[in-house]
Amino acid sequence: MSKKIFEPIEIKGMKLKNRLGFAPFLNMPAAADGYVNDLTVKWFEDRAKGGTALIMTGAVVAGPAPDPTFTAMLGMDWVGLFDDKYIPGFARIAEAVHAHGAKLGIQLTGSAGPMLGKGPSLPPYPDEEHATDHLIKVLLGFDMPITEVTVEEIEQVEQYIADASARAKAAGVDCVELHCAHGGATFHNAFLSPYYNRRTDRYGGDWEGRLRLLVETVQKMRAAVGEDYPILVRLSSDQLVGERGVTLRDTTDIIVPALEAAGVDCFDISQGDMIRSNEGILIPLYYPRGCFMDMTAEVKKATKLPVIGVGRIVDLDMADRLLEEGKADIIFMGRQLTADPETPKKYLEGRPEDIRVCIGCMDGCGPCAINYEIHRGADAPVPADKPKKVLVIGGGIAGMEAARVAALRGHRTTLMENASKLGGILSALALSSMNSEFGNFVQYLTTQLKKLKVDVRLGKAITAADVEALAPDVVILATGSSMLIPKAARGKRGVMNHVQAVTRKDEIGKKVVIWGLIAADLAISLAQEGKDVTIMGEGGIDTLAKPYPIGRKWYILRKLTDIRVPRAVPEAARMSNPEVLCDVKVEEITEEGIHVVDKDGGKRLLAYDTLIASGRNKASDTMFKELQGKAWEVYRIGDCIRPANIKTSVVEANEVARRI
């Protein structure tokens, strides 16, 4: 295939067979105490097997060992390289990756920076008065005390990185990358940034001072690995906290030239500041694909060295276009290669329709919501010992995934759905502009069911008698749930539930009240479409978008609340419409509108054209009760047990379909 993405490229003598790489991803599985285990090897090998040329590890701890209380609190595995005892583990990964013609890089980080309690200078930071809420506080509910590091500690971190680089080379790893991106998340980026660094010693002050740690580290890395070994640096092209932080201009005019002079071989360009807004790092489905690549293109103009671009790139046609346009030399993908490690291989084989395209849901991204196999160490489904006649009832994503896996295993599979189309609630939610990426998964499953020749029967309500007539060996019930309208709203004018609101958009009037703080993304979508929206509910502000994964919730909070984070880019701007009303109770609904009372007894009448009720679901489980005591194996999965998100539905579907 004559595509730019499949052209080879070299970084300081490291030959890459194509221009696709796996972005650094912290969520790699590992054994206790930072050791590589079989799962870690598989995590990287799967990407290499799938055709990606450069596999970068997530941030590996060059030293010192992380605080165990903190890692336990975050519930994350970590991988270390601050001792020779870790070399054999990386040698295993390198061997596995090389067996598939790919190269391995290790991303190195020293002490983790202000996010985890070590900074160049003490807070308050420049905009502390308005930017006090940060990721760790939102995630854990408390502030991490920050200590100012000494010159001895700085020199020690430089040495840690240099020693770990030498260990990487000794393990047969092909390159190292210094993590100097994401603002306060990394030691090196924090030193670079005037936002965090107000030191007056030689590691602070002007650009020369703030660059010193980075430049000295690169020089010590070079001394440790020799002249011919590739050293990459990951930068945030712009910290996205405005003029107080590192700007794109600083990167192109000052930082890139300084690093070139220090001996760096390639720039990996990300953006943002993890603790102050995580704009540009955790990029949920609400952003357009590839939306940060114009910044990378500016860096590319500033250097002759290879430049890597990243950020919500899930489509290899787009990746190819970005390379053709000269915006980058290599494209890194993180979540797409988690949703489907075989993305390059399938594309190269001319079957892009088989690619499971990332939906940007941000639900884990280690244990991916739509890819059961990743991280759990599960292999592809194996053929069943004895093919059975399997009936799946319900064509939402739980039922579709169960039918896909059952059919892959050789079971004769029928899927029945009483609606006229597949996809259930997820395909309805995908109709809202904010959530259109959800449709990727429905489309993938629909295609796979067709290819696997699953007998899909739509548009007919199914009864226990129909099931009996079909005489299946196994019945998998995935009958989902129905959305309820609260009693006070039933029979009133202009009332819809959430699914009706997205499937019958034309009926929505100008003035919209959403009853249910969970529907925050619908509120934003409707406001963006020109409606006057109020979203309200009984819970406090902490219940707004409560069950959303943090990467999405953070975006919603920036849009709809006064959470005090920098809003340097327009995408993060606070919206005045929708209005958010927390802690209110509905008293009654009349012809005039919905009458609410707040916790201080204050009353308000919210006039509406359309009232949308969201957040109340009832499991549709009558069929399960009817089938009890019959001869077949009967299983239930997904929403028909209790409200289930995408990940739970996919896990349950796989666990049943791999067992039968």
Ligand X SMILES: Cc1cc2nc3c(=O)[nH]c(=O)nc-3n(C[C@H](O)[C@H](O)[C@H](O)COP(=O)(O)O)c2cc1C
Binding-site ranges for ligand X (CB under 6 A): 23-27, 58-59, 107, 179, 181, 234, 270, 281-283, 310-313, 333-336, 365
- Beta carbon nearer to ligand X, 309 or 424: 309
Identify whether the C-beta of residue 282 lies closer than 8 Å to the C-beta of residue 550. yes
DSSP three-state, residue 572: helix
**Cβ neighbourhood burial of 337 (10 Å; 0-12, 13-18, 19+):** buried
Identify whether the C-beta of residue 319 lies closer than 8 Å to the C-beta of residue 308. no
- Beta carbon nearer to ligand X, 181 or 536: 181
- Beta carbon nearer to ligand X, 335 or 498: 335
- Beta carbon nearer to ligand X, 262 or 368: 368
- Beta carbon nearer to ligand X, 241 or 476: 241
CB of 179 to ligand X, least distance (A): 5
- Beta carbon nearer to ligand X, 270 or 617: 270
- Beta carbon nearer to ligand X, 278 or 649: 278
- Beta carbon nearer to ligand X, 197 or 296: 296
Identify whether the C-beta of residue 281 lies closer than 8 Å to the C-beta of residue 231. no
DSSP 599-617: TTS-EEEE--SEEEE-S-E
CB of 84 to ligand X, least distance (A): 23
DSSP three-state, residue 499: helix
CB of 79 to ligand X, least distance (A): 10
Identify whether the C-beta of residue 311 lies closer than 8 Å to the C-beta of residue 288. no
CB of 360 to ligand X, least distance (A): 8
Q: Which residues contact 55 (CB under 8 A, 6 or more apart)?
A: 21, 22, 44, 47, 48, 97, 102, 103, 104, 105
CB of 128 to ligand X, least distance (A): 25
Cα separation, 195 vs 384, whole angstroms: 58
- Beta carbon nearer to ligand X, 173 or 310: 310
Identify whether the C-beta of residue 371 lies closer than 8 Å to the C-beta of residue 358. no
- Beta carbon nearer to ligand X, 434 or 596: 434
- Beta carbon nearer to ligand X, 108 or 520: 108
Identify whether the C-beta of residue 475 lies closer than 8 Å to the C-beta of residue 575. no
Identify whether the C-beta of residue 314 lies closer than 8 Å to the C-beta of residue 335. yes
CB of 107 to ligand X, least distance (A): 6
CB of 396 to ligand X, least distance (A): 26
- Beta carbon nearer to ligand X, 365 or 402: 365
Identify whether the C-beta of residue 617 lies closer than 8 Å to the C-beta of residue 632. no
Identify whether the C-beta of residue 222 lies closer than 8 Å to the C-beta of residue 12. no
Cα separation, 178 vs 107, whole angstroms: 6
Which conformational region is residue 593 in: left (phi greater than 0), alpha (psi within -120 to 50 degrees), or beta? left
CB of 365 to ligand X, least distance (A): 4
Distance of CA 458 to the CA centre of its chain: 33
439-451 vs 397-408: helix crossing angle, rounded to 10 = 30
CB of 434 to ligand X, least distance (A): 17
CB of 422 to ligand X, least distance (A): 27
**Cβ neighbourhood burial of 599 (10 Å; 0-12, 13-18, 19+):** exposed
What's the angle, vertex CA 141, arms to CA 138 and CA 145, rounded to 5? 100
CB of 21 to ligand X, least distance (A): 10
DSSP three-state, residue 584: strand
Q: In what order do the strands lie in the sheet with 584-589?
A: 584-589, 594-598, 603-606
CB of 237 to ligand X, least distance (A): 12
- Beta carbon nearer to ligand X, 64 or 126: 64
**Radius of gyration for the chain, computed over Cα atoms and rounded to the nearest angstrom:** 26
How far is CA 106 from each of CA 174, 213, 242, 270, rounded to the nearest angstrom? 8, 20, 31, 16
CB of 334 to ligand X, least distance (A): 3
* Residue nearest ligand X by beta-carbon distance: 334
- Beta carbon nearer to ligand X, 282 or 637: 282
CB of 318 to ligand X, least distance (A): 11
CA-nearest of 299, 232, 304 to 271 is 299
